[in-house]
Amino acid sequence: MAQILPIRPAATILTLRDGSDGAEVLMLRRNLRSDFVGGAYVFPGGGVDDDDGRLEGLGLTVGLDDVMASNRLNLESGGLVFYVAALRELFEEAGLLITCDARGEATMFDVERRERLVHQRAQLNAGTIDFASILRDEGLQLDLRGVDYLAHWVTPVGPPRRFDTRFFVVKAPPNQVAAHDAGETVADRWLRPTDALDAHRLGEFEMIFPTVRNLEAIRHLHTVDDILNYARVQVTVPRVEPRIVQRDGQGVILIEGDEGFAQAGDS
């Protein structure tokens, strides 16, 4: 029987913009040397940090409190950290910062502020400054009003790392440019979900199973507003924990409803 590893809470965010042929999603390619899905195209995201829980108490978030966030995620408490982690990771990995001022107005990023944030992002990724300090120094609040909950995936037993990941969707800020961090991520691309899926099917675009399934869930939606509304009106978001089985010497991923899923849980 496979060793059951600790499961780390994590957050991932599908960042969206309207293109000429439909909604596009930001995807980042992970460094080939990464010890987790190296070379794959993913959405910005990562593990929840201890500091993510500090922002609400410091008055650095707007739009959600922990009670509201926890209700959305079907948790007794602690839900807000997933939203915070998603937007922190978006800044760390893609350089996009979704914030507002004390009046609740979306932040305007002039040249001087953008240049400062480039340096602050590098410091954050180097571990010499924390996210709360950047927001406080810039007089900003993390704007959670436009972040919607999309999906909940748990890494199956078997891989070397396991994550309990909440997937979110958000519209990209209009006056910023996404850029990979040239460390954990080595490329950034905006693609329509259907184009990413077609490239993956042809073997041109490596993606892991949850990434594929979340793109499949929104591929029929044409605009950013359509996708945000799709996430917003979900009555329940199921917890999906796939199971891996061996068939003809190959690992096959099953989810609930697939033939053999129940039996895989007995092995």
Same domain membership, residue 249 and residue 230: no
Taking CA atoms, 74 is separated from 83, 187, 234, in Å, by 14, 34, 13
> pLDDT tens across 128-180, in order?
999 999 999 999 999 999 999 999 999 887 667 789 999 999 999 988 999 99
The answer as to whether 16 is a domain residue is yes
The answer as to whether 1 is a domain residue is no
Reported confidence tier of residue 248, pLDDT bands at 50, 70, 90 = low
Contact status, residue 221 vs residue 48, Cβ threshold 8 Å = no
- Strands 141-143 and 99-100 come out as antiparallel
Beta bridge partners, 47, equal 10
Model-level pTM? 0.92
Residue 260 has pLDDT above 70, yes or no: no
Same domain membership, residue 261 and residue 225: no
Please report which residue ranges of the chain form alpha helices under DSSP H. Answer: 66-72, 80-94, 111-126, 131-138, 193-201, 209-218, 224-232, 261-264
- How far is it, in rounded angstroms, from Cα 31 to Cα 24? 22
- How far is it, in rounded angstroms, from Cα 91 to Cα 193? 22
> pLDDT tens across 81-102, in order?
999 999 999 999 999 999 998 8
Same domain membership, residue 106 and residue 93: yes
The answer as to whether 101 is a domain residue is yes
Same domain membership, residue 146 and residue 80: yes
- Strands 185-191 and 22-30 come out as antiparallel
CATH number of the domain where residue 107 is located: 3.90.79.10
Distance from chain centroid for Cα 207? 14
Same domain membership, residue 245 and residue 216: no
The answer as to whether 32 is a domain residue is yes
Same domain membership, residue 228 and residue 173: yes
Kindly tell me the sign of the dihedral angle through the C-alpha atoms of 224, 225, 231, 232.
Answer: positive
Residue corresponding to tokens 């490239």: 199
Same domain membership, residue 87 and residue 41: yes
Same domain membership, residue 251 and residue 140: no
Same domain membership, residue 245 and residue 116: no
Same domain membership, residue 118 and residue 192: yes
Taking CA atoms, 125 is separated from 11, 41, 82, 105, 166, in Å, by 17, 20, 19, 27, 22
Query: Which is more confident, 35 or 124?
Result: 124
The answer as to whether 11 is a domain residue is yes
The answer as to whether 142 is a domain residue is yes
Q: Residue 214: which domain range? A: 7-236
The answer as to whether 259 is a domain residue is yes
Which amino acid is present at 65? Answer: D
- How far is it, in rounded angstroms, from Cα 138 to Cα 191? 32
Same domain membership, residue 219 and residue 152: yes
The answer as to whether 194 is a domain residue is yes
Residue 235 has pLDDT above 50, yes or no: yes
Same domain membership, residue 266 and residue 159: no
| Buried b or exposed e, range 52-75, using 16+ CB within 10 angstroms | beebbeeebbbbbebeebbebbee
**Number of independent structural domains in the chain:** 2
